Amino acid sequence: MANIPKEAVNRMTRLIGDPDKAECKVDKIRAITSKIDEAEVREESEIFKAMADPCRIKILMLLREGELCVCEIMIGLDRPQSSTSHHLSILKEAGLIRERKDGRWSRYRLSEGAVIEMLNMAKLMKESKFQRHE
């Protein structure tokens, strides 16, 4: 790869000791990085941002059990309608949940099984973290 920054090679050389191997390593890292789609990274980070709130995780856990209307979610959260709706709109915008109008009511459900998988993965990671610290 052309134009490998000398500073990056110097840093890598300090890490691994061999300037030639360092240059190859820097080249490889830059090649991998060049394949990363920045728009995709931003979109995926929005999903994690939406999940980075305990209240929204709780909503997802409630919806894991099935479709619920806003009033049912409010009961589960013990929060007012305005706060509940705010969190629901963030989750909906991130594509994690879907809304269905039912007369005057809005009913929500998880958008995909992948959301359940993400919740399960988070639980596994948490359990693994606690096992390492025992």
- Each of the 134 residues of the chain gets a pLDDT tens digit; together they read 457 788 988 999 999 998 999 999 999 999 999 999 999 999 999 999 999 999 999 999 999 999 999 999 999 999 999 999 999 999 999 999 999 998 999 999 999 888 889 888 888 888 887 777 66
Give span(s): CATH 1.10.10.10, the chain. Answer: 42-125
Structure confidence at residue 133 (pLDDT): 65
Structure confidence at residue 114 (pLDDT): 87
- In CATH, what class is 42-125? mainly alpha
Helix, strand, or coil (residue 110): strand
Instruction: Indicate the pTM of the whole model.
Output: 0.76
Q: Is the dihedral of CA 37, 40, 42, 47 positive or negative?
A: negative
Residues 80/74, Cβ–Cβ less than 8 Å: yes
What is the radius of gyration, based on Cα positions, of the chain?
A: 22
